[in-house]
Amino acid sequence: MKLALYLAVYCAAIWPANLWGAADQLQDILQENTKARQEDKAKELKGREQIEQLKRDQQSSQSQQRLDQINRQKNDAAEAQKPQAAQTQQQLDQLRNDQQIQRLQTDQQLRRIEQDKDPLRQQQQINDLQRQQQIRSLQEQIQRNQMQQDLERLRQK
């Protein structure tokens, strides 16, 4: 009976210490589980943020590529129009040269007409020359205006 009493007292003394120890272990395990869940959530959140950042970077890259492509197309179009503009400018310059040559030829014809002794024939030739000049002048003006419009259109593009 002494042994039973001794055992009962021993168990009564050890039991609360075991309970406290078990409670501490349980609390430690719960804290570790909470900490592990928080770390998992933090890793998951960081992974999502990285994915979102990668998506933004990809969209930015695609937008930049589209912008670069548009700029290349615009530059290509401008480069293609430069020869046309140069050609139109050259035609316009040629027209001006032709007009100057025509004026010189007209002056030369007038001098020849002035040398004619018949005043009636002289007046008739002057009238014919004036009509030819008016027609030529109108034709040249139309042609010059068309070229200048073409040149302006090419420069605006």
Domains of the chain: total:
1
Looking at the predicted structure, is the pLDDT value of residue 12 above 80?
no
Q: What would the two tokens of residue 37 be?
A: 């869940």
The answer to whether residue 8 is domain-embedded is no
Contact (CB, 8 A) for 132 and 62: no
Contact (CB, 8 A) for 85 and 154: yes
Looking at the predicted structure, is the pLDDT value of residue 126 above 80?
yes
Q: Using CA atoms, how far apart are residues 140 and 134, in angstroms rounded to an integer?
A: 10
Higher pLDDT, 41 or 11: 41
pLDDT of 110 reads 82
The answer to whether residue 18 is domain-embedded is no
Name the residue among 126, 123, 133 with its Cα closest to residue 110: 126
The answer to whether residue 53 is domain-embedded is yes
pLDDT in tens, 21-75: 666 787 888 888 888 888 888 888 888 888 888 888 788 778 788 877 877 877 7
The answer to whether residue 152 is domain-embedded is yes
Find the mean pLDDT for residues 126-132: 88
18-27, 43-52, 81-90, 103-112: the lowest-pLDDT one: 18-27
The answer to whether residue 37 is domain-embedded is yes
* Domain that includes residue 99, residue range: 30-156
Q: Using CA atoms, how far apart are residues 8 and 15, in angstroms rounded to an integer?
A: 10
Find the mean pLDDT for residues 118-142: 88
Q: What would the two tokens of residue 135 be?
A: 């027609």
